[in-house]
Structure 1
């Protein structure tokens, strides 16, 4: 298991993604504080990081709409944030982890928004880099690099 995580961390570190400011290896260590509430379990049931069930499974969190993990009962505010278009990218995750209640107030525009997550983490970059290793979502930096190439291909096809 540690070999898989180390390999994933290396790939992310070398890819120059938006998560490069965090260290996934350090994030794995930091995540141990999160495991009292969260687990990381793949869709086929492989338990990657055994943890609590107070919070949702964080497998594939990066790129997922807020409040949409199937089978988990979310609070109304985080569901509202997801319905308003909040997607868990590096910036949103960082803001949420630093101040869950404040993030939801801003994301929903509801001054009475609440979060079930009471834990705050001042420097979540490493945890986010670690969580990104369990996401099928293409990091933003890679998507930006591919978009011009796709546009150029479409232009050459149109001119032929």
Structure 2
């Protein structure tokens, strides 16, 4: 009986963590990006990215699209971030390192709001 209660409690704890992670609009981002720093992981860190230059973090090799955006002085506006998290490949018109996350509409707005709050 004690063992069954322990297993049930452990399962509830794990599922609570999963539910919390999925409730975050940035849940998909965490796999490849640091959210608590600008340090790179697979992709660049996202803390403080809103309002910064696109493709502008030092020490990270960007694809051709973001390099061109950086050269043109483009910044990560709310609209640019929303479009990027919805369909990075469609925005770039080319191959990008980031797969399209399909976080669109209100979900994209929520993700951008979370990014800005980091």
Query: So what's the TM-score if we normalise by structure 1?
Result: 0.52
Partner residue in 2 for 1:29: 24
Q: Distance in 2 between matches of 1:76 and 1:119?
A: 16
- Report SS of the residue matched to 2:24: helix
Specify the alignment match of 2:68 in structure 1.
Answer: 80
Q: In the TM superposition, what are the counterparts of 1:64-143 in structure 2 within 5 Å?
A: 64-105=52-93, 113-120=94-101, 121-122=103-104, 123-134=107-118
Instruction: Note the residue ranges of structure 1 that are not aligned, 5 or more in a row.
Output: 1-26, 46-51, 106-112, 135-160
For 1:124 and 1:40, locate their aligned partners in 2 and report how far apart those are by CA, in whole Å.
Answer: 16
Q: Where do 4+ consecutive residues of structure 1 move more than 6 Å?
A: none
Unpaired segments ≥5 residues, structure 2 = 1-21
Q: Which has the higher contact order (CA 8 A, sep 6+)?
A: 1
Q: 1:88 to 1:39 in 2, by over 3 A?
A: same
Contact 2:54 2:66 in 1 (8 A): yes
Query: TM-score, normalised on structure 2?
Result: 0.69
| Secondary structure at 2:42 match in 1 | coil
**Alpha-carbon contact 1:39-1:56 (below 8 Å) kept:** yes
